[in-house]
Amino acid sequence: MLHKNIRVGESPIAGLGLFAVRPIAKGETVWTGPTQEATFSAAVVARWSVSKRKSFFFYAYQTAGDQWTGPESGRPSDHSLYMNHSCEPNSWFTGDLRLEACRDIKAGEEVTYDYETSESVSLQSDPMICNCHAALCRSLLDGRAFQTPAFQNRYRKHMLNYLERAATTKEDGSERTVLNPEATCPTKEIGTERPGAGNI
Ligand SMILES: [Zn+2]
C-alpha cells in the first residue's frame, strides 16, 4: 500500500512513476507490502515466452534469491510497481515490506528507491541503463552493486534481507566487516519535475 499522498504520473526518469502530491516527511512510510501481485520462481518464469518475461520483469521486483513479484499480465494492478529507480533515491527499505522516506520529499517530487537494494539476478541477465540524472548515477545497473563495499556501507540495513545477508556474509560464512555502520541517505534532490511535465 502506498502513502496516501502518492500518485502515478509521467516520469522524467522512465515511463510512469510515482509522485508526492503533498510533502512527505523523512521517516514516513512510503509503502508497505506485500503488493497485490503474485510471486513466481525463476523456474516458472523461464517457461514463459521472451515477450512475456520482458514485460513481467519491466514491473516485477525481486523479493528473494529465486523469487519475483509482479504482474503476469505485464500490466500492474498494484500502483506501487510503478516506482522508478534512482541512484540517489529519496526512500529506502526498512525490512522487506516497508519503504520509508530517507529524507524530506517535496510536493511534486518523484518518489524513488534504488533497484539494486532489491534486485540481483534479473539485472545480471538483463542490465538496465540508468536515466536517473543523479550526480552519483552508476549508469548501468547490473545487479552486482551489493557486492561492493561502497554500496554495502551506503545501504547497510536498507537492502532486502536476502541481499543484506549476501552483502554482509563472506564465502566462509563469517560476517563481512562494514566500514560505516550508519547508512547515509542521499541528499541531492532529483526528479522534481511535476507529473505531466514530459520527458527530458
Ligand atoms: Zn542512476
Q: List the domain boundaries for the chain.
A: 6-168
Residue 138 confidence (pLDDT) = 93
Residue 179 confidence (pLDDT) = 61
For residue 174, how far is its CA from the centre of ligand 1 (angstroms)? 32
Distance CA 191, CA 13 (A): 7
Please give the grid coordinates belonging to residue 22: 503533498
Mean pLDDT computed over 122-144 = 90
Hey, what CATH topology would domain 6-168 get?
A: Beta-clip-like (2.170.270)
Q: Distance of CA 157 to CAs 3, 86, 96, Å?
A: 22, 18, 10
For residue 61, how far is its CA from the centre of ligand 1 (angstroms)? 17
For residue 191, how far is its CA from the centre of ligand 1 (angstroms)? 11
53 or 200: which carries more pLDDT confidence? 53
For residue 114, how far is its CA from the centre of ligand 1 (angstroms)? 9
Beta-carbon contacts of 33 under 8 Å, excluding residues fewer than 6 positions away, are 80, 96, 97, 98
Residue 97 confidence (pLDDT) = 96
Determine which of 116-130, 139-153, 182-196 has the lowest per-residue pLDDT on average: 182-196
- Confidence bin at 188 (pLDDT 50/70/90): low
- Confidence bin at 168 (pLDDT 50/70/90): confident
Residue 124 confidence (pLDDT) = 84
Determine which of 27-41, 131-145, 149-163, 175-189 has the lowest per-residue pLDDT on average: 175-189
Decide the pairing of beta strands 91-93 and 98-101: antiparallel
> Is-cis flag, bond preceding 181, omega within 30?
no
In the chain, what is the straight-line distance between the N-terminal and C-terminal CA atoms, in Å?
Answer: 29
181 or 141: which carries more pLDDT confidence? 141
What would the pLDDT profile of 8-33 be if each residue is shown by its tens digit? 999 998 889 999 999 999 999 999 99
- Confidence bin at 191 (pLDDT 50/70/90): very low
Which secondary structure element, helix H or strand E, spans residue 59, and what is its range?
Answer: helix 50-59
Beta-carbon contacts of 126 under 8 Å, excluding residues fewer than 6 positions away, are 57
pLDDT at 69 over 90: yes
Residue 199 confidence (pLDDT) = 34
pLDDT at 193 over 50: no
For residue 87, how far is its CA from the centre of ligand 1 (angstroms)? 4
Q: What is the DSSP letter of 146?
A: G
pTM value is 0.87
Residue listed under C-alpha cell 536515466: 131
